Amino acid sequence: MVQPNALAPLFLRIGLGSILFAHGLQKLLFISRTMEFFELIGVPFPSLSAYGIATLETLCGIAFYLGIHIRLAGLCTILLMCGTIITVKGAKGFIDGYEFDALIIVNAISLMFTGPGEYSISHISNHP
């Protein structure tokens, strides 16, 4: 029988992984727009930063989705979202600003504490 507590990390991972993957992939598919936006808001080395951030966001999404390297993906996600808050959304305030990014940070922290859960590649392979 499936334990309800075993499903919680799965749902967090699938939701968070899907969001990160979708946003990262969109940045990669439209990399020239991403670079232009990064240059517009003053991100240092906009071309390199665009590729790096888009790739990292996509890979973190995949890691969460599959349930592998959760703590590393969580740390990277927290750093990405803090960067987003500092460079883009912080001045807008919490409401209609960085509340979504804060929620992503809280989900990443939660998964860093709980781990990937039973329904993950890490659990199946006995690899933390």
Q: What letter does residue 117 receive in the DSSP assignment?
A: -
What is the per-residue pLDDT across 30-60, written as a single tens digit (0 to 9) for each? 999 999 999 999 999 999 999 999 999 999 9
Total residues belonging to the chain? 128
Structure tokens at 44: 């240092």
The span from the CA of 109 to the CA of 90, in Å, is 20
Structure tokens at 104: 């992503």
Kindly provide the b/e burial profile for residues 79-115, where b requires at least 16 CB atoms within 10 angstroms of the residue's own CB.
ebbeebbeebbeeeeeeeebeebeebbebbeebbeeb
Helix axes 4-29 and 46-66, enclosed angle (nearest 10): 150
pLDDT in tens, 66-83: 999 999 999 999 999 999
pLDDT class of 126 with cuts at 50, 70, 90? confident
- pTM (2 decimals)? 0.90
Tell me the Cα Rg of the chain: 15
Residue 53 phi, psi (nearest 5): -65, -45
Q: Tens of pLDDT along 10-35?
A: 999 999 999 999 999 999 999 999 99
